[in-house]
Amino acid sequence: ASRAIVAQMKEDEARHADAAEAAGAAKLPKPARQLMRAAAKVMTTTAHYL
């Protein structure tokens, strides 16, 4: 079940990124992207163990 949650989270994030880009969003600075990637990893790892 947790793998399905992680897969859904990844799919949702990809869809969100596509929508933001289509709406004209600017690319975030590298430190912000790295911070968001680290936060996402914490969430997906936590979801995996739950």
Cβ-defined contacts of 6-15 (< 8 Å, 24+): 6/44, 6/47, 6/48, 9/43, 9/44, 9/47, 10/44, 13/40
Q: Give the domain ranges of the chain.
A: 2-49
Work out the number of other CB atoms within 10 angstroms of the CB of residue 49: 6
Residues 1-50: tens digit of each pLDDT = 788 998 999 999 999 999 999 999 988 899 999 999 999 899 989 988 87
pLDDT for 43: 92
DSSP 24: T
